[in-house]
Amino acid sequence: MFRILSQSDAGNLGARRGQLVLKHGVVETPAFMPVGTAGTVKAATFDTVEAAGAEIVLANTYHLMLRPGGGLIRRLGGLHGFTGWRGPILTDSGGFQVMSLAQNRKLTEEGVQFRSHIDGAPYLLTPETAVELQFRDFGVDIGMCLDECTPYPADFPQARLSMELTHRWAKRGRAAYERLRAEEEPGAGAPAAVGAPAAAGAQFGIVQGGMYEDLRRQSAEFIGSLGFEGVACGGVSVGEPKAEMRRIVEVTAPLLPAGRPRYLMGVGRPDDLVHAVASGFDMFDCVLPTRAARHGLAYTRTGSITIKNSRYRDDPAPLDETCVCLACRRHSRAYLRHLFVLGEPSAAILLTQHNLTAILDLMHRIREALDNGCFADWARAFASSLEGKDS
Amino acid sequence: MFRILSQSDAGNLGARRGQLVLKHGVVETPAFMPVGTAGTVKAATFDTVEAAGAEIVLANTYHLMLRPGGGLIRRLGGLHGFTGWRGPILTDSGGFQVMSLAQNRKLTEEGVQFRSHIDGAPYLLTPETAVELQFRDFGVDIGMCLDECTPYPADFPQARLSMELTHRWAKRGRAAYERLRAEEEPGAGAPAAVGAPAAAGAQFGIVQGGMYEDLRRQSAEFIGSLGFEGVACGGVSVGEPKAEMRRIVEVTAPLLPAGRPRYLMGVGRPDDLVHAVASGFDMFDCVLPTRAARHGLAYTRTGSITIKNSRYRDDPAPLDETCVCLACRRHSRAYLRHLFVLGEPSAAILLTQHNLTAILDLMHRIREALDNGCFADWARAFASSLEGKDS
C-alpha cells in the first residue's frame, strides 16, 4: 500500500516522495491531512476541501463514537456513506481526546473508562474496541492503534511506564485487527504483509517515549516489529518547546521502518512540515490551518498575516497574489477584514478555504521539489523566505 | 431597463414574466434577491450564491455606511469592487434598519439622526445622503429612495403622517438622484426616462400607507408620478397578520405603474411569493431562507423540515430528492442533523446553500410556468402540495 517513488539524495536528508494506495484512492506523499474531527472540516464543506487539493482527511474516533455513534455510522455505510467524503479517511484512535476531553476518565490495563463530555454517558475504549469502531463501523482507509499519548512534561520513569502501556496496547490492537481481517477475509491468514491489499483498511501503530531518545528507540523497534502497515510518531506537539519537538522528529524518523509510511501526528506549521519532511516523515495532520483561519490568521508564501490588523482596512490585494483559492481569486484583504471584524460566517469560510489551499499547496511544492531532485535547495530557499516572519 | 415578456392571461391573475436590464447584468423576473446585509450572504460565499442560481443580491445601506463606510467602499471600486459580487446589486435605503437598530434616533423633516449601534458614532441619513451613498459610493444597480417604514400597528392618522413624510422624502430623493445623474452625465438632461440606459443605476421609490387601502392608493399614485425606474411596496411583513399582508399585496400591486418593475419588500415565504407573483409583483427579498437555514429549517418541495428532529437521526435520504444543491447531491438528512446538533459551521453552510437553491428554484419554476402560460394551474398545484404543511 506504500510506494516510495524517490528519495532525496542531496544534503543528507531523509525526505521521501511516495504514494499511499488506499481503499478509496491514491494519496501522494508527503501529504497533509485536513482535520475533520466530527466527520466535517470546521467552516468548510467537502467540495471546498477537495477544491483546496486534499486527498485524505482525518476524523476523530472519540468524537464520532459519542456522536453519532459507531452503530449509526455503520448502518449508514461507514464514514464514507455517512459523511459523503469520497477519498481516503484516516481516524485517530481516540486516545488523545479521551485524555484531553472526557470526564471521570480512568486509565487501566484494560483501556480507558470515561464519561462523555457531552452527556456523561459511560464508555470503555480499549485497543480492541478502537479496532472494531474504526475498521468494522467506520470502514476507514487507515485506523490508528490505541495508544497512551505521553503528556509533556513527563520524567523518564513516567514516560517509560506510559510507553510500555502503549506497547502492550499495540500488541492487543494488532491482534484484534488481524482477527477482524481473518473474519472478514477467511483464508487470508494472520499477519497482513507489507504491501497487502488495501481493501481491508490499513492499521498504523504509534511510537511514544516522551522526549527521551532511548525510549523513542525502544518504541520504534517494538512498534516497528508488530507488522503495522504504517507507523506514527505520537506524543509530539503536546506543549514541548519547538526545539524539543524537532529533536524528537529528527531522532525518530530514521528509526521507523523505511519501507512503510511514517506519520508525524499533530504537526502542521509550515516550517515544521518542511523540517519533518526533510527528516523523513510522509504524513501530517494538524488543526492549525483551519483553527488559525477561524481566528483571522491567514497563511501566505512569505509568512502569515492577521487579517483584523488595521493596515488591511483598505488593502485591495488578495491574501496572497500567488494563491488560486476562492478567497484570493475573488476578494481583497480589505473585504476579508471587513467580514472578520463583523464576525460574518463567511470570514471563517473564506479564510479556511485559503489556509487549506495554502498548506496543501505547500505540500504540492514539497512533492514537486522532491520529484525534481532539488528538495534540499528548495527547503533552504523556503526557510529564508520566512526569515524573521511568524510562519 | 424593464421588459415584460409575457403576462398571465388565465385565472384573472396579474403575474408578469420579465427581465431587468441592469448595469451588471440581466435579471429574469419574477426574481428573488438573497439578502447580503453587510456585503455578504450569511454563512455563504458568493460562489455558492451564484451556484444556487441568484442573479441579484440585496445589501443594506445602513450596515455598510457604518462599516466599512461609504468612502472606503468608493475607494475600493464601489460595492462590486469591494465585495467581489459580479452581478447586479440592489441596496435598501437604510430607513428600515435605522428604525430597528440605531440608538438615540431622532426623526426630523430633514432625515434621521442616529448613533451607530456599534460604537455610538453620530450619523445623519437624509434622502440626499442615501442617494449619494448608494449611487456615488456604492455604485449600485438599483438604489432605494429613503422612506419611513410605517410600523404595525399604526392608526390611520399615524399611517397618513408617516406616508406624507415618505412622499416628501421621495420627492427630495428623486431630485437628488436626478442632480447626481446630471452631474455624472452632463447633457443627459433631468428626469430619467423609463427605459433609460441602465448604466446610471436605477432608483426605486417606495409606497407606504400602512394597512389602509385609501392611503396605499394615494401613495401609489404619488410615488408612481415621480419618474422612479421601479416602485416598491414597503411597510408589509412588519408584524401584521398574514391575511392583512396579502390584502395589501393584492390591493397595491395593480396600483403600481404597469410598465415598471414592482418590488415587494421583505416577503419570502414560498407560499407568499407565489401569491405575490400572482398579484403582479416582480421582485422579492427576504432573510428567511438564509436565517431559517441557520436555525435548522430546510425547505423542501412539500414543505419545510426541522433537521434536528430525531426522526432524521438515521435518515439516509437527502433533504429533497429533487434538489441539485451541494447538500442534497452529497449528504443525507442523518449527516446534516449530526452537523446541526454538534453546532458545526458546515450545518449552516450546507442548509443555507440548500434553502437558497430551493427558493431560487421556486422562482425558476414560477418563471417556467409563466413562460408556458400555465401559471394559474401551476399555482393551484403548488398550493395543494403544501396543504396542511408549514411552508
State the nearest Cα–Cα gap between B43 and chain A, in angstroms: 5
A244 lies in the same domain as A368: no
Residue A390 lies in a domain: no
| B contacts of A73 (beta carbons < 8 Å) | none
Please check whether residues A312 and A197 belong to one and the same domain: no
Contact A349 B344 (CB under 8 A): no
Determine if residue A39 is left, alpha or beta; phi over 0 gives left, psi from -120 to 50 gives alpha, anything else beta.
left
Would you say residue B135 lies in a domain? yes
CB burial of A247-258 (b: ≥16 within 10 Å; e: otherwise) equals bbbbbbbebbbe
Q: Return all residues near A201 (Cβ < 8 A) that are at least 6 apart.
A: A23, A134, A135, A139, A140, A141, A142, A143
Q: Is B151 helix (H, G, I), strand (E, B) or coil?
A: coil
Residue in B37, B40, B46 to test binding to A, most A beta-carbons within 10 Å? B40
Residue A350 located in a structural domain:
yes
Q: Same domain, yes or no, for B144 and B246?
A: yes
Whether A260 and A298 map to the same domain: the answer is no
Picking from A76, A332, A353, the nearest residue to B332 by CB comes out as A76
Which residue of A349, A351, A352, A354 is the best one to mutate when testing the B interface, meaning the one whose CB has the most B CBs within 10 A?
A349
The answer to the question of residue A364 being in a domain is: yes
| Same domain flag for A91 and A232 | yes
| pTM, two decimal places | 0.96
The minimal CB distance from B338 to the residues A39, A332, A345 is found for: A39
Same-domain check for residues A12 and A119: yes
Considering only CB atoms, which residues of chain B are within 8 Å of chain A? 38-47, 67-68, 72, 75-77, 81-84, 313-314, 316, 326, 330-332, 334-335, 338-339, 341-342, 344-346, 348-350, 353
pLDDT at position A197: 43
CATH at residue B134: 3.20.20.105
Residue B282 and residue B308 in one domain: no
Whether B383 is covered by a domain: the verdict is: no
Which one of A138, A344, A357 makes the best mutation probe of the B interface by having the most chain B beta carbons within 10 Å? A344
Domain that holds residue A364: 294-383
For B294, the closest chain A residue by CA position comes to A345
Q: Give residue A36's identity as a one-letter amino acid code.
A: G
Q: Is B7 domain-assigned?
A: yes
Residues of B in contact with A72 (CB under 8 A): 313-314, 334
Based on the fold, state whether residues B273 and B305 are members of the same structural domain: no
E strand intervals along chain A: 2-7, 16-22, 25-29, 31-34, 57-60, 89-92, 103-107, 112-115, 122-125, 142-144, 202-207, 230-233, 262-264, 283-286, 297-300, 303-306
Chain A residues touching residue B43 (CB < 8 angstroms): 345-346, 349
Chain A residues in contact with B341 by the CB 8 A cut-off are: 67
Catalytic positions of A, written as ranges:
92, 285
For residue B87 the three cell numbers come to: 452581478
For residues B184 and B298, membership in a common domain is answered with no
**Are B91 and B140 in contact, with CB atoms under 8 Å apart?**
yes
For residue A40, the chain B residues in CB contact (below 8 A) are 339, 344, 346
Distance of CA B248 to the CA centre of its chain: 17
Least reliable range by pLDDT among A7-21, A210-224, A341-355:
A7-21
Q: Is residue B387 part of a domain?
A: no
Residues of B in contact with A314 (CB under 8 A): 72, 75-76
CB pairs under 8 A between A and B: 113
Contacts of A133 (CB under 8 A, 6+ apart): A61, A64, A65, A70, A94
Residues 6+ apart with CB under 8 A from A389: A302, A303, A304
Query: Please, what is the average pLDDT of chain A?
Result: 93
Contact across the interface for A334 and B83, Cβ inside 8 Å = no
CA distance B314 to chain A (A): 7
Residue A348 with chain B: CB contacts under 8 Å: 345
**Domain-embedded: residue A391:** no
| Last residue of one domain, picked from the residues B233, B258, B286 | B286
The β-bridge partners of A321 are: none
Q: Are residues A82 and A186 in the same domain?
A: yes
Partner residue facing A335 (CB), from B84, B314, B353: B84
Residues B182, B188 contacting (CB under 8 angstroms) = yes
> Are A346 and B41 in contact (CB < 8 Å)?
yes
> Taking 80 as the threshold, does the pLDDT of residue A195 lie above it?
no
Q: Please judge whether B314 and A41 are an interchain contact, meaning their C-beta atoms are less than 8 angstroms apart.
A: no
| Residue B137 a catalytic site member | no
| B320 among known catalytic residues | no
Domain count for chain A: 2
Q: Give yes or no: residues A273 and A363 share one domain.
A: no
Question: Which of B242, B261, B286 is the last residue in one of the domains?
Answer: B286
For helices A375-385 and A270-279, give the axis angle rounded to 10 degrees: 160
Same domain, A106 and A163: yes
Distance from CA of B173 to the nearest CA of A (A): 29
Q: Considering B223, B252, B286, which residue would you say is the last residue of a domain?
A: B286
Say how far apart CA B44 and CA B352 lie, in whole Å: 7
List per-residue pLDDT tens for chain B, 391 residues long: 899 999 876 666 799 999 999 999 999 999 999 999 999 999 999 999 999 999 999 999 999 999 999 999 999 999 999 999 999 999 999 888 888 887 888 999 999 999 988 888 999 999 999 999 999 999 999 999 999 999 999 999 999 999 999 999 999 999 999 999 998 876 655 444 444 444 579 999 999 999 999 999 999 999 999 999 999 999 999 999 999 999 999 999 999 999 999 999 999 999 999 999 999 999 999 999 999 999 999 999 989 999 999 999 999 999 999 999 999 999 999 999 999 999 999 999 999 999 999 999 999 999 999 999 999 999 999 999 887 665 4
